[in-house]
Amino acid sequence: QVPLVESGGGLVQPGGSLRLSCVAPGFTLDYHTMGWFRQAPGKEREGVSCIRSDDGSTYIADSVKGRFTISRDNAKNTAVHLQMNNMKPEDTAVYYCAADPGPCGAYWYPRFGSWGQGIQVTVSS
């Protein structure tokens, strides 16, 4: 298990932006997928976006496509960022960073991988 630390959450108005970051202190995650899930109250956890550390391939959920962008720390493969623009109230959720060696895609779920503690994102006026 690799410790993952999330930052950047908070309260934002509809139409605003936030940038989430996830770092793995002391670890270089070569040949890994890192990404984000979110869970709103009363709903199941859903995949938002992921990125591979080796080839840079990405996945973005349809619900956030065109508004969210994922990127990684190319130099050391120790961090991943989620830029969230034009945010909507339905983006309100706890966002979780995750990492494991599996392939990035719509079906990626690191059941036995590493997870962050989660960070609250609230979109409200």
User: Of 26 and 62, which is predicted with more confidence?
Assistant: 62
pLDDT tens digits, one per residue of 12-26? 999 999 999 999 888
What separation in angstroms does the CA of 44 have from each of 41, 66, 68, 94? 8, 23, 20, 11
The mean pLDDT value for 80-98 works out to 97
DSSP state of 113: S
Q: What number is the average pLDDT over the span 82-102?
A: 96
Query: Side-chain half-sphere of 57: how many Cα atoms within 13 Å?
Result: 11
